[in-house]
Amino acid sequence: MNTGTNRILDDFAKLMTDAAGAAQGVRKEMETVFRSQAERFINGMDLVKREEFEAVREMAIKAREENDALTQRIAALEERLAATNK
């Protein structure tokens, strides 16, 4: 009887091990499907990559600095023009 009980327990342990392996496989498959759906959703939103955003941000900062410098130059030239017209 002891051998029969051991065989049943061995079969049960094997069954549980197989079930755990199958559950891990299902989990990995679900992660893959979810990741694929998330990527498709994000790509459909027409978002920019971080590198592209940073490049445009740097261009905007540089353009603003150039604009400020030109504004100061214009103000200085207008002051000189006003002083010479007096």
Per-position pLDDT tens, the chain of length 86: 567 678 888 888 888 888 888 888 888 999 999 999 998 888 888 888 899 999 999 999 999 999 999 999 999 999 999 999 87
Q: How far apart are CA 50 and CA 56, in angstroms?
A: 10
- 68 and 34 co-located in one domain: no
pLDDT recorded at residue 16: 84
Cα–Cα nearest to 66, from 58, 11, 54: 58
Residue 19, both tokens: 């079930």
Mark 16-44 as b/e (b = at least 16 C-beta within 10 Å). Answer: eeeeeeeeeeeeeeeeeeeeeeeeeeeee
Number of domains the chain is built from: 2
The domain in which residue 77 lies consists of 48-86
Length of the chain as a residue count: 86
pLDDT recorded at residue 2: 67
- 55 and 34 co-located in one domain: no
